């Protein structure tokens, strides 16, 4: 016999019965409504970082991140109130003002859906960083990084248990990096590719894909992929 307990809540004026273990996002999506997300990925643990999935709960002072908020009896939830729409739109506009979203189709789609103004913050500082090419398999282009933490989670407890990636810096200068900012081959990275697979903006991108987009042929790509690794091997041999 099942021990599952259910609670009754209201979503956009409609009564919904849901397991008491469900998140607000689970309950909303059980009605067929799609909730916009940025940091959330099916293979990683919800952390409520991006706040794009926020909803309005009657009686609550602040908007609630639906991916980490548990349902409770009698909750009255609004997913399309002006307060919610404005919050989601502002998040998208702030991201667009500081980060290169040119290869983030899901976020671009959300900007269109919420009528986000790409020019709302014209004086914002851009998070410009050099492309890191320190291994044969993928590039790290952190000027496209939205700090969603998906790569850190995939590298850590959620998938690979390798812990090669971590968080560095503070405030606006916060960034995804490696311990002591070592080149990737000098970390615990096993080049599994999980971090690349979960990245929503191509801040991490497979080298073959990157160089094909640049118009190189496969022979050129093989040479380009080999060089950084070979240089490190040569450097190591020279120090022996």
Which CATH number characterizes residue 173's domain?
3.30.70.20
Cα–Cα distance, 231 to 134 (Å, whole number): 10
Q: How far is CA 76 from CA 4, 20, 156, 203, in A?
A: 21, 15, 36, 38
Q: 76, 58 in Cβ contact below 8 A?
A: yes
Q: Which two tokens stand for residue 132?
A: 């890191």
Asked whether residue 53 is domain-assigned, the answer is yes
Q: Work out the pLDDT band at 239, boundaries 50, 70, 90.
A: low
What is the pTM for the complete model shown? Answer: 0.85
pLDDT digits (tens, 9 = 90+) for 127-168: 888 899 999 899 999 999 999 999 999 999 999 999 999 999
Q: Domain total for the chain?
A: 2
Domain that holds residue 35: 6-80
* Residue at a domain's end among 52, 80, 108: 80
Asked whether residue 60 is domain-assigned, the answer is yes
Say what the pLDDT of residue 226 is: 57
Asked whether residue 66 is domain-assigned, the answer is yes
The lowest-confidence range among 33-37, 77-81, 172-176, 230-234 is 230-234
* Residue at a domain's end among 80, 103, 118: 80
Q: 51, 94 in Cβ contact below 8 A?
A: no
Asked whether residue 91 is domain-assigned, the answer is no
Reduced 3-state DSSP string for 140-204:
ECHHHCCCCCHHHHHHCCCCCCCCCEEEECCHHHCEEEEHHHCCHHHCCCCCCCHHHHHCCCCCE
Q: Work out the pLDDT band at 208, boundaries 50, 70, 90.
A: confident
Say what the pLDDT of residue 36 is: 97
| Phi then psi dihedrals of residue 140, to 5 deg | -115, 105
Cα–Cα distance, 229 to 234 (Å, whole number): 9
pLDDT, mean over the chain: 90
Task: Give the CATH number for residue 58.
Answer: 3.10.20.740
Asked whether residue 22 is domain-assigned, the answer is yes
Asked whether residue 65 is domain-assigned, the answer is yes
Asked whether residue 12 is domain-assigned, the answer is yes
Asked whether residue 122 is domain-assigned, the answer is no
């Amino acid at each position: 016999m099942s021990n599952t307990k259910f609670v009754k809540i209201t979503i956009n004026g409609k009564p919904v019965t849901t397991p008491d273990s469900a998140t607000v996002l689970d309950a909303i999506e059980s009605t067929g409504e799609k909730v916009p997300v940025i940091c959330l990925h099916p293979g990683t643990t919800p952390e409520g970082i991006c706040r794009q999935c926020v909803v309005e709960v009657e009686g609550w002072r602040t908007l609630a991140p639906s991916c980490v908020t548990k349902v409770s009896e009698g909750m009255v939830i609004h997913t399309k109130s002006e307060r919610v729409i404005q919050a989601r739109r502002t998040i998208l506009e702030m991201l667009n003002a500081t980060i290169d979203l040119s290869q983030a189709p899901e976020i671009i789609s959300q900007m269109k859906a919420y009528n986000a103004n790409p020019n709302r913050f014209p004086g914002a500082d851009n998070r410009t960083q050099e492309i890191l090419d320190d291994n044969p398999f993928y590039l790290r282009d952190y000027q496209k990084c939205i700090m969603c933490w998906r790569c850190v989670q995939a590298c850590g407890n959620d998938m690979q248990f390798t812990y090669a990636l971590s968080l560095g810096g503070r405030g606006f200068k916060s960034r995804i990096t490696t311990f002591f900012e070592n080149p990737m081959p000098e970390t615990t990275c096993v080049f599994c590719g999980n971090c690349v697979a979960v990245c929503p903006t191509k801040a991490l991108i497979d080298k073959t894909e990157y160089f094909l987009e640049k118009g190189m042929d496969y022979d050129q790509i093989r040479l380009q992929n080999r060089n950084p690794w070979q240089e490190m091997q040569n450097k190591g041999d020279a120090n022996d």
